[in-house]
Each structure stands twice: as C-alpha cells, then as structure tokens.
Amino acid sequence: MGMESAIPIEWVENPRARTIAASEAVDANFPRGIFEQTRSFHRQIPGYQISPLRNLSNLASMIGVGGIWVKDESVRLSLNSFKVLGGSFAIYSFIKNQLGLEGKDLSFGQLISDDTRAKLGDLTFATATDGNHGRGVAWAADKLNCKAVIYVHKDTSQARIDAIAGYGADVRVVDGTYDDAVRQASVDAEANGWQVISDTSWEGYEDVPKWVMQGYTTMLSEAQEQVAGQGMVKPTHVFVQGGVGALAAATVGFYSARFGQDRPTTVVVEPATAECLLESARIGDGQPHAVGGDLQTIMAGLACGEPSPIAWGVLWDCVDAFLACPDYVAAKGMRVYATPLAGDPFVVSGESGAVTLGALMFVAEYPEFSDLKDYLGLGPDSQVLLINSEGNTDPDEFRRVVWEGANSVPKEYRWANA
C-alpha cells in the first residue's frame, strides 16, 4: 500500500455492482432534474463551449475494441481542466443557499451582480487542491469579485501554483500531502469564517462536495449528446480517473441515474501509490478506507490517500472494477495521445488525464490481463469512453515525459512483448 509496483495493473473486481438495480447513493446525490440544472448554469458562463469528443478509431482497431471516444477537457474555458465545472456550480449553489433561493433560478448575470455582492458581504472561499480544482475555485471567486485562499501540498509544482495565483488567489503551501492540505484548509476556514469549497466530504460537510460532483455532470451530459450523435445509445464502457472519487462518482452516477442497471461497465483507475478506492473495494465492507505513505506520483491530481465518503457510496454501488497503475502507465498514455496513429486526432493530455488510456491499452493488449478483459467484456464491439481530465497543466513535467521519455515502460511490458 502506498508503494509503486512494476506491474502495470493491479485490480479488484466489484461484482456487487452488478446486483444493484437502483442505488440510494445515486438517488441522494443526483436527484431528478439536476443534470439539466447544472447544464443550464454552465451554459450562461461567458466563454462556455461544449468540449470536444475525440474519436481514436485507428487506435481502437489496433488494440481490438470497437471505438475509443475521448471527452477532451484540456480546452474547458481556457482552464485546461474539467474541475472548474464543479467549483463554479458549488459556489453558485452555496450563494443560492445563502440568499434563500434554493429551488429557484439565479442567472449568471444576477450571480455576479453588485446587488448580489452587497447582500452577501465579504466572502472568502478556501479549498485544498492538487492544482486544477484550486484553479477552478480561484477563477470562479475572481469572476464573483470574492477572495480565494487555496492550499497546496509541498510537492505541488510552481507552474500549478502560478496558474492559481494568476486569478488573484492567496496560495498557501502546506508541508504535507494533499490530505494534510485538506485538513489545514478546514481548520483555517473555521478560524477565519471562510467557506470551504472542497471536492471531498467529511462528517458534517456534505452539501458542497455533492454540488461539486453535480457540477461535473455537465461534461457527461455533453458527452452523452455527442455519443448519441454518433448513433450510439451510450458507451458500453467508461474508464475514469479516481482521486478522492468525485469525478468517478459523477460519471457513474450520471450513467446510473440515466440507465439504471443498463449503465456502461465502469472502471476506476488510480495511481498505485494512492490507491484508496481500490483498497476500499478490496476490504469490501462498504466503508471508505485511507492509504498512507507520501502518495508520490506524477498524477498530481489523483494523489489522494482518503476517499470522499459521499463519492465512495456511489462507487461501491456502481463501479465494476477498480484498477491501480504505476506512473509509467500514465506516461505511456500521454505519449500515445501526443503521437497518434495516422488519421487519429492529436490530444494534449496531462499526467492525470492520460492514465485511463494507458490502462485500457494494457488491459486490451496483454494476455496476462485476459481475466480482467473477460470480466469487463472488453472486445471488438466495445465503445469505450475516456475523459481527458486535464491538458498540459505542468509544462516542465509534460516535456519531461513526452519529449524526454521519462517514466518509460519497463522492458518486460513494452509493446513488442505484448
């Protein structure tokens, strides 16, 4: 636990998910009408555009699946990540709550108006981040003329810190892990009367993380329209990143609410050094479990040792398999996206964005994972949805991997040996 292995994929199946027709956790977090509400809010944000769905048809043919579809969040609102969808909707929902407007519409124009600002008084939003969530919260706070205090852990790159500070936020470095930064943000917010906008939950703090997860579903609503435009009812498989579990819960929650037991087969992929979701599935008592260690990984956005309890409830009910991968799997995904087969589009994908593609390729191509491949029903009829959750958010690290070949695949797992 917390130690990186040379094996490309460690996995735990969750057959329980296939026995659940309706999940109470999904109903609680994604009530009827919420997908339309989040989409309606995001549509009003200046500069909003639907992010592209990329079709890697030639790579799909090469690895023996029917299709690979990539929801490309690297171009979301010029912020290089999907995270702004969650942070902005959570702040919107919090302000509606403060103004006593739950269940009523509040336009983006009203949200940022002087009138609303006067009613709210001085607001400061605080959060911990591995980079992208903090940037999204800082951006949203800047739009609302509010203050933001963003906590990062000691291994956060200067590029990520600068990107957050660029929106006027006060960035504070915590000598510890992401989970330590979460705790420090909570302590300081309590002492200073700030409002925490976190994507992870804890006892007594569940509304905001729920709103964050709901905000992410705009991306899935868009993807569902785009997939339907290709003549499919839905993807057959979804591979999604796992950090605290909020993105994964939003993804599987969206499809569970839409399709029930007929949802796509869902796979969650984490770093091998921060595999808290896989560990929770392995223990199998229905509770979230933390992993220790320094959580070191190039997948900075996924370096989380403690699951979000409300996200875990959704994942435990609905995810078919949990995978943990070493850094070289993410690095391989970055290079494949950056050097596509002739005819496939080029995709700029950061470390956390690319791990699902790397994992899919190992599952599809390597005989030693045939049991997992069979369990997932992955084959020539499979239409696989991936989420490129971030673009090039750390240029030095990106060049180290893509230009210089850092975190290379060990010799025994290179493509020629597949």
Catalytic residues: 83, 130
> Which residues share a beta bridge with 267?
239, 321
> Residues of 77-105 as b/e, b for ≥16 C-beta within 10 angstroms?
bebbbbbbbbbbbbbbbbbbeeeeeeeee
Instruction: For residue 240, count other CB atoms closer than 10 A to its CB.
Output: 24
Between CA 336 and CA 347 the distance in angstroms is: 9
> Residues of 357-381 as b/e, b for ≥16 C-beta within 10 angstroms?
bbbbbbbbebeebeebbebbebeee
Report the amino acid identity of residue 406: A
Between CA 93 and CA 85 the distance in angstroms is: 12
Between CA 383 and CA 142 the distance in angstroms is: 39
Residue of 361, 367, 344, 373 lying closest to 409 (CA atoms): 361
What dihedral angle (degrees, nearest 10) is formed by the CA atoms of 44, 48, 49, 53? -110
Please give the backbone phi and psi of residue 127, each rounded to the nearest 5 degrees, phi first: -160, 160
Greatest alpha-carbon pair distance for the chain in Å reads: 65
Between CA 234 and CA 155 the distance in angstroms is: 39
Contacts of 325 (CB under 8 A, 6+ apart): 8, 9, 10, 269, 270, 271, 272, 355, 358, 359, 362
